[in-house]
Structure 1
């Protein structure tokens, strides 16, 4: 009787350990993705529209285009 309780507890501990490891991996991947996106945003911000990329947002009120 005592043996089955300890096996059940050990199984539960393994399951919890596995769930914590998966959550930790998921957080690490999300942090890496966040860092990559921040670097990309910083590169785009420093480069600006000088490279001819005018596909982003633009100020319509000051536009030279007339209707």
Structure 2
């Protein structure tokens, strides 16, 4: 099982709390938060740990 690093977990928690506290708030600028090397790297490791199985859209993007 792959654990989420504390830095990523903190970001997830902050975004979650903001969304819950202000339901009408619009996150217009999430790109800078998602397009970080640590987040993309962790997402890739999660996909690899999933044995390259397809996601909910049934498309396998990791045909390496």
Fold shared by both chains (TM-score > 0.5)? no
> What is the TM-score of this pair, normalised by structure 2?
0.30
Question: Which structure shows the higher helix fraction?
Answer: 1
Which structure ranks higher in relative contact order (CA pairs < 8 Å, sequence separation ≥ 6)? 2
> What is the TM-score of this pair, normalised by structure 1?
0.29
